[in-house]
Chain A
C-alpha cells in the first residue's frame, strides 16, 4: 500500500487528506451516526419532545404491512432489473463481439443510454407507456391488452423495471464486451476444433470464463436497482399506484421528507445501510477472489 520509497513530512500529508476527510466526516459519517441515533427516538405528536425508545421503531417496521409490501416490491423490482439488465447486456455483447461490420457503430449507440439520467429514462418510457399519448400503450390497446400504468400496479411495475433496466444495459454491455475481448482466442479455437458449435462454445467455455464479470455486475446492478432508481420512481410513478412501486429507498424519502415520521424513516435508513454494507462486503471479498470456472 505504501511506496517503498516515500516521503516523510510533519504536516503536508494531513493537509492533502484534509479536504476529503472533512467532506467524509461532515456529510457522510456524522449524518449516518445521526440516522442511527434518530432511529431510536420517537417524537411526540406536536414535535415538541423526543423520547428514547431503543429498537421500537424497528419492531414497528416489522409489523407494518406497508413496510413489508415495500420489501416485496423492492425484491421484485431489483431482481427483475438486474436479471433483465444483465441478460440483455450479455446477449448484445456476445453478438457485438461476433460481428465485424458496423462494429464500432453498434458499440457507440449501445453505450449512449448510460449517459441518460435515471429520471430522464423514466420520463422517456413514461411517455411511451402513457395511456393517452404513448405509442406503446396505443399499440397494446390495438392488440386488445388493457394497459394503464397510472392505475394498474402491475403495469406501473413493468414500466419502471423497463425504464431502469434500459439505462443499465449499456453499463453491462461495456463490461461484458471487455470481458469477451479478453478471452484468449486459442481457447475458443480449441473448442471449435473439438467440434463444439457456437452455442455449445458459449455455454461451456465463454460463459464460465465470464463469471467474474457477471458476478461483479450482479453486485453493481443490485446496488443500482436498490438506490439509484429512486430517481426513476420519483419522476414517474411516485411509488404509486397505491404503493405498487414504493421501493424501500422511495419509502424512506416519503415517510421522512413528506410524512415527517423521522424515527421510522431513520430506522428504514439504517436497514438500507446494512444492505449496502452487505453488498459492498460481498463485492470486495468475493469479486476480488475472481470466481472462475468452478467445475
Chain B
C-alpha cells in the first residue's frame, strides 16, 4: 500500500510558475508577435561584434581586451566573436571551420578588411563605426552606454538537445517609429581550435574560443517586429530552432538577441539568455 501511495504521489505533476507568477507558456504561431509583459531591466546593453580569425596574430590580444572589458562592464557588455570566410579564418589542420554564413553576410555588408575589427551596437562611436579592439574597447563601450535607452529587451530559452525555443520580449521605452527587426543568434563558449599567437609563429592548439557565433536563428538581418512604435508598447514573440551542426556542443551554447533599426541596422537593445 505504501508503495502504491508513493508511486501515485510520485506520478503527480508540479508545474512551476514563471518569474511573474504565471503558469503559462507561449503557444502562438512561431514568430507571431503578441502583447507581452513589462520588462524590469531598463539598463543599457552593448552588443560588441568582433571579427576575428584563427590566423590573425593580433586577435588573441583583442580577445584579452574584450575579456577584461567583460569583467568591467559585466552583463552590460555582450560580445560576439565572428569568423567570416577570409584567409584569416582558414582552419589549421583538421580543425573545424569557425566561419558562418551569417558572419560572411555581415562581414561583406560592413566591409570588414582587417582583423580583429569590432563594432559597437552597429553605431558610430566617436565618428567611426569600426575599431581595433586590441587597442581598447572602453571608449566605444562607454559611448554606447551613454546613449539613451530606446527599448528594453528580454529573452528566455528552453533547450531540448539541439532544439531551441526562444521567447523574446521587448518594451518601447521611447517612441520609435522606424521599423525594427529582432535577430537571434546561437553562440558557443569554450570551442577548442588552433589560434595563431601574437608572435606570428606560435600556434596554440588548445586555444578556447569564447562567445563564438555558430548560427543565426532568424534571418541574418532579423525578423520583423510587429509593433506600433509607441512608448509603452510591449510585444513578445517566440522562435524555435533546430541546430543541425554536428560540431556544436549544445551544452556550451546560449542565445544572443538584439533589436535593430531595419533601415539603419543600428542596434537599439541586446540581451542574452542561457
Whether chains A and B associate is no
Q: Residues of B at under 8 Å CB distance from A?
A: none
Enumerate chain A interface residues (CB-CB to B < 8 A).
Answer: none
